């Protein structure tokens, strides 16, 4: 089994990087695959410097992770604004990733008790209209996933509006949007999702990239209301966390999968599971064949995978080669393929999101 994050193992694996050099991607040619593959979990990000309406709070922008990603993706070199640079970087990496399509996510705001936006409490925001604009420009490879906080006063109306514009996937991030998806007042919202056959993606498990309102809102068990209303639900991240996170939510996700096995409307995605300190929980998911069959591929772009963390499982040389790949979407997919879950889960994701394109 893949072990916990280990500094000695990481440094030992990193030692192979210098001599890999130009041979980093001289891998044997893989047999050509015919089944289409999809990345279910790709973020659209913007700071609002190109009339996008996006928000990334000063708290996040000043953080080391944001600055690293700006540099790694060369956002300032790829466009006159960060927003434009991000779209260029995203489209370029996706089209060179080997995946056929990606579901690209918006991000709704925090809302107060009256259902109005609380901008002071909102650290990350990507409007649905901006998402729909960007994905329409890249419709050959991007599928829009709108974001609607059920706490907003016009939640059902906004859902209907987005459905009318062609959206068929919805994302909710309870711990940073401050929404309890198990609250009975949201029953009509989820019933509308079920009627429209809108796939509902919900963040579960621990969050490390944005300020959290309440981590209890990320418990997988809170998905029962949406599941009971007939929604197809994707538990993003499978309730996973790092070994240092105080509450272990992954067993709750595993139980939920079994509870809804007959209904067959619950999935998990592998977004962020190739990342920093997630190898323990990824190994626990991959240890069960039934659980593996319910996993859908997601990268969590732009948040990077850390192949070196998996060097004991896939080998130090392969991990080193993957670590050098600057294409974060391709890197994450290749890592999960090496772990024996990537292509199968990406094919399942494509079948779920694009059933009409299946032959």
5 within 8 A of 311, measured Cβ to Cβ: no
The pLDDT value given to residue 288: 96
| Top-level class of domain 36-357 | alpha beta
The pLDDT value given to residue 33: 55
pLDDT in tens, 27-61: 444 445 579 999 999 999 999 999 999 999 999 99
Q: Would you tell me the crossing angle of helices 250-259 and 279-286 to the nearest 10 degrees? A: 20
DSSP letter string, 31-74: PPP-S--EEEEEE----STTS---EE-HHHHTSHHHHHHHHHTT
* Positions of the chain with pLDDT lower than 50, given as ranges: 1-31
179 within 8 A of 147, measured Cβ to Cβ: no
The pLDDT value given to residue 356: 76
Q: Which two tokens stand for residue 268?
A: 């998990």
Cα 310 to Cα 4: distance, rounded to the nearest angstrom: 9
Cα 180 to Cα 219: distance, rounded to the nearest angstrom: 10
pLDDT in tens, 268-282: 999 999 999 999 999
The pLDDT value given to residue 11: 42
Q: Which two tokens stand for residue 96?
A: 């060179």
The pLDDT value given to residue 32: 55
- Which helix (DSSP H) or strand (DSSP E) does residue 130 occupy? helix 128-137
């Amino acid at each position: 089994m893949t072990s916990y994050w280990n500094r000695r193992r990481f440094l030992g694996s990193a030692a192979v990087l210098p001599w890999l050099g130009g041979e980093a991607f001289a891998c044997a040619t893989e047999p050509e695959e015919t089944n289409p593959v999809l990345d279910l979990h790709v973020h659209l990000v913007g700071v609002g410097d190109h009339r996008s309406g996006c928000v990334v709070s000063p708290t996040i922008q000043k953080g080391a992770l944001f600055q690293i990603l700006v540099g790694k993706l060369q956002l300032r070199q790829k466009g006159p604004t960060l927003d434009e640079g991000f779209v260029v970087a995203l489209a370029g990496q996706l089209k060179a990733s080997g995946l056929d399509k990606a579901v690209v996510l918006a991000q709704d705001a925090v809302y107060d008790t009256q259902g109005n936006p609380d901008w002071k409490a909102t650290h990350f925001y990507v409007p649905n209209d901006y998402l729909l604009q960007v994905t329409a420009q890249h419709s050959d490879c991007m599928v829009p996933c709108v974001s609607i906080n059920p706490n907003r006063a016009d939640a059902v109306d906004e859902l209907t509006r987005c459905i009318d514009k062609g959206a068929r996937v919805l994302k909710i991030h309870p711990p940073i949007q401050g929404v309890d998806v198990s609250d009975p007042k949201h029953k009509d919202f989820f019933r509308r999702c079920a009627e429209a056959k809108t796939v509902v993606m919900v963040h579960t498990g621990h969050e490390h990239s944005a300020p959290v309102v309440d981590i209890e809102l990320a418990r997988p068990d809170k998905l029962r209301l949406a599941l009971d209303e007939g929604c197809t639900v994707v538990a993003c991240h499978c309730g996973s966390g790092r070994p240092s996170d105080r509450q272990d939510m992954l067993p709750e996700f595993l139980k939920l999968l079994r509870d809804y096995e007959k209904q067959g409307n619950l999935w998990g995605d592998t977004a962020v599971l190739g990342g920093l300190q997630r190898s323990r929980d990824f190994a626990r998911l991959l240890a069960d064949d039934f659980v593996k069959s319910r996993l859908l591929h997601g990268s969590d772009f732009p948040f990077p995978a850390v192949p070196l963390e998996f060097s004991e499982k896939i080998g130090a040389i392969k991990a080193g080669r993957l670590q050098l790949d600057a294409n974060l979407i391709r890197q994450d997919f290749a890592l999960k393929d090496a772990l024996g879950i990537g292509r199968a889960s990406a094919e399942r994701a494509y079948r779920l999101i694009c059933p009409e394109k299946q032959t």
